[in-house]
Amino acid sequence: MSGAHKTGLAPWQATEALPRSEAEGGATRVDHLVVLGFVPPGARVLDIGCGDGALLALLRDRRGVDGRGIELSREGVNACLARGLPVIQGDADTDLANYPDDAFDVVVLSQTIQATRNPKIVLEHLLRIGQQVIISFPNFGHWRVRAELAFRGRMPMTEILPEAWYETPNIHHCTIRDFVGLCRLVGAKIETAAALDASGRPMRFSMPWWFWNLIGAQGVFLLRRDGTR
């Protein structure tokens, strides 16, 4: 663990640049504001697993991005259509192969990688399609998750992992340290990383990986293809 998270612009610095009223606005999710802080104005953005399009709409309205989305659920796609967002009904596991290299400035995969069938292949596609990749996921190394497993001997159910093991779509859980290992394996350069608490608020201090891996409920990473490999 090289402390790569200490380089570059930390996400909370970016979010602090926003007017306070926006950051505290009840309608906008805090983790969306973290992503917003990573995305340059006018960028071409692909949001994979974009849900009802709230993040894409935010990026369009605040950053003037040319945003596209992929969403599995019909309800989500319909909500996106009503927002005027070009979103296709599709599946990260099967559809990313059809996108050309460098098709987007930024690719966002929010709280979805743990639900894909093949996270490694998905991550490789993200790095191929986007100049930059913003990826967030629930941290299975969080102390509450560890405590549930260690002391109760049960699969954890927490605020950000609310489903029981038999109905959760999350089939490939990982910890923040696991994810850092995958980044190394596929040749992803970590430009910035942050741990968020359960409400998606960035944790406003810098700590070594093992600490984040223990107290971060979610990890957010800004990645780029490692050109040196």
Partner 1 sequence: MDNAPDTALGIGPTVEPGRGMRPSLELSQALEPQSPVALFGADRPLAMDSGVDLSPFQVAYQTAGTLNAARSNAVLICHALTGDQYFAHRHPVTGKPGWWESLVGPGKPVDTDRYFVICSNVIGSCMGSTGPASLDPATGRPYGLDFPLVTIRDMVRAQAMLIEHLGIEDLFLCIGGSMGGMQVLQWAALFPERVFAAMPIATGARHSAQNIAFHEVGRQAIMADPAWAEGRYLEAGTRPAKGLGVARMGAHITYLSEPALHRKFGRRFQGRSAPTFSFNADFQIESYLRHQGLSFVERFDANAYLYLTRAMDYFDLAADHGGVLANAFRDSKTRFCVMSFTSDWLFPTSDSRAIVHALNAAAAPVAFVEVESDKGHDAFLLDEPAMFSAARGFIDAAARARGL
In the list 9, 17, 88, 164, the residue contacting partner 1 (rule: CB under 8 A) is 88
Residues 172, 174: Cα–Cα separation, whole Å: 6
Under the binding rule (CB under 8 A), the answer on residue 89 touching partner 1 is yes
Q: Which tokens belong to 86?
A: 């070009």
Question: Is 187 near partner 1 (CB under 8 A)?
Answer: no
Q: Are 58 and 36 in contact (CB under 8 A)?
A: yes
- Strand pairing report for 104-110 and 44-48: parallel
- Range in contact with partner 1 (rule: CB under 8 A) among 21-29, 71-79, 170-178, 209-217: 71-79
Question: From the CB of 84, what's the least distance to partner 1, in Å?
Answer: 3
Q: Is 35 exposed, middle or buried (0-12, 13-18, 19+ CB in 10 A)?
A: buried
Query: Could you say which residues in the range 41-60 bind partner 1, by CB under 8 A?
Result: 44
Which strand (E) or helix (H) includes residue 134? Answer: strand 130-138
Range in contact with partner 1 (rule: CB under 8 A) among 3-11, 78-86, 179-187, 221-229? 78-86
Which residue carries 């960028």 as its tokens?
A: 43
Which H helix or E strand runs over 45? strand 44-48
The piece of 31-39, 76-84, 132-140, 155-163 that touches partner 1 (CB under 8 A) is 76-84
Which among 15-23, 94-102, 130-138, 213-221 is the span making contact with partner 1, rule CB under 8 A? 94-102
Give least dist CB 56 to partner 1, A.
12
Q: Is 81 in the site for partner 1 (CB under 8 A)?
A: yes
Total number of residues shown for the chain: 229
**Residue of the chain from 45, 58, 87, 127 that contacts partner 1 (CB under 8 A):** 87
Among the listed residues 174, 199, 179, the one whose alpha carbon sits nearest the alpha carbon of residue 5: 179
Interface residues toward partner 1, by CB under 8 A: 44, 66, 68, 74, 77-90, 95, 98-100, 103
